Amino acid sequence: MLLNRKQRVTLNTTPMEEIGLFYGSDTGCTDDITKDLVAQWSDATVVVHEIDDVSAADFDRFNIIILGLSTWYDGDLQSDWEVFFEEFKTIDFTNKVVAIYGLGDQIGYGEYFIDGVGILAEVVLGNGGTIIGHWPIEGYRFTDSVAIIEGKEDHFYGLAIDHDNESQLSDDRLEKWISQLKAELQSYAVTHNEIAV
Ligand SMILES: Cc1cc2nc3c(=O)[nH]c(=O)nc-3n(C[C@H](O)[C@H](O)[C@H](O)COP(=O)(O)O)c2cc1C
């Protein structure tokens, strides 16, 4: 199997590729899910950053990035993400593959369910990034969300976790999403690295 050398430098999705994970949590729920994600994705090196402790430059070294956040008030970013947001908008996501997971409450805040995922997705796409890990809206009860993909309305831009109402489903959802990400990363690498067999 031959890999195009230049492209391989651009995105190497071997198990040794480091994944940069950046997350924020107000009351600890996203924190818990993040720990579970890292534990479940044990065959990769996931370098975890709390978003209140980073600068835009910290994103540079990662080609594969995972963003985690909760949504607060009526569709607002988690508070640390809110503070970082202006700087986040300066990041160039060209050649970066990004997956997003969001925590929210589909019953209490059904008009704004995981809106934060959509807010971050818009920046990533606008700044040249590719988003993987789209997640079906099926099975959730909510009325609206800016995390719904335009033109693919039966999917969110990323994983939706409702720890407030459906914590019993969180492990299973996370496990499925990680498997999906692994498969998508593999196929992204095949497409973009021009692998010749
Ligand atoms: C005051 C308040 C406002 C909230 N606003 C939203 C919202 O607009 N959309 C949503 O999906 N969830 C909303 N939630 C639910 C939180 O996102 C959810 O509880 C989440 O698990 C918190 O995660 P964290 O502890 O990591 O911050 C809200 C919760 C509270 C208490």
What backbone torsions phi and psi does residue 14 show, to the nearest 5 degrees? -70, 165
8 part of a folded domain: no
- Residue with tokens 């067999």, as numbered in its chain: 197
State whether the beta carbon of 109 lies less than 6 angstroms from ligand 1. Answer: yes
Give domain status of residue 58, yes or no: yes
User: What are 39-98's pLDDT values in tens digits?
Assistant: 999 999 999 999 999 999 999 999 999 999 999 999 999 999 999 999 999 999 999 999
Which residue among 103, 140, 162, 167 is best mutated to probe the pocket of ligand 1, counting the most ligand atoms within 8 A of its Cβ?
103
Which residues lie below 8 Å from residue 13, measured CB to CB, with a gap of 6+? Answer: 64, 185, 186, 188, 189
| Domain of residue 146, CATH code | 3.40.50.360
Q: Where are the beta strands (DSSP E) in 73-194?
A: 76-77, 97-103, 130-132, 135-136, 148-149, 152-156, 159-161
Q: Give tens-digit pLDDT for 17-37.
A: 899 999 999 999 999 999 999
pLDDT in the model for residue 189 = 81
Residue with tokens 């994600």: 37
β partners of residue 45: 18
Q: What is the whole-number distance in angstroms between the Cα of residue 158 and the centre of ligand 1?
A: 16
Tens of pLDDT, residue by residue over 60-71, are: 999 999 999 999
- Total count of domains within the chain: 1
**If you search the block for the tokens 């021009």, which residue do you land on?**
194
Instruction: Give the model's confidence band at 154: pLDDT under 50 very low, under 70 low, under 90 confident, else very high.
Output: very high
- Residue 104 has what pLDDT? 98
Residue 61 placed within a domain = yes
> In terms of Cα–Cα distance, which of 99, 17, 23 is closest to 62?
17
175 in a domain, yes or no?
yes
Residue 69 placed within a domain: yes
Residue 186 lies in a domain: yes
DSSP secondary structure, 136-149, as one string:
E-TT---S--TTEE
- What is the identity of the amino acid at 152? K
Q: Would you say residue 139 has pLDDT above 70?
A: yes
Residue 88 within any structural domain of the chain: yes
Average pLDDT of 125-145? 98
Which atom of ligand 1 is found nearest the CA of 25? Answer: 26
Domain that holds residue 163: 16-192
Task: Count the neighbouring beta carbons within 10 Å of the beta carbon of residue 117.
Answer: 30
Pocket test for ligand 1, best of 50, 80, 109 (most atoms within 8 A of CB): 109
Across residues 167-182, what is the average pLDDT? Answer: 98
Q: Does residue 76 fall inside a structural domain?
A: yes
d(CA 135, CA 132): 9
137: exposed, middle or buried (C-beta count within 10 Å: 0-12, 13-18, 19+)?
middle
Please report the atom of ligand 1 found closest to the CA of residue 106.
11
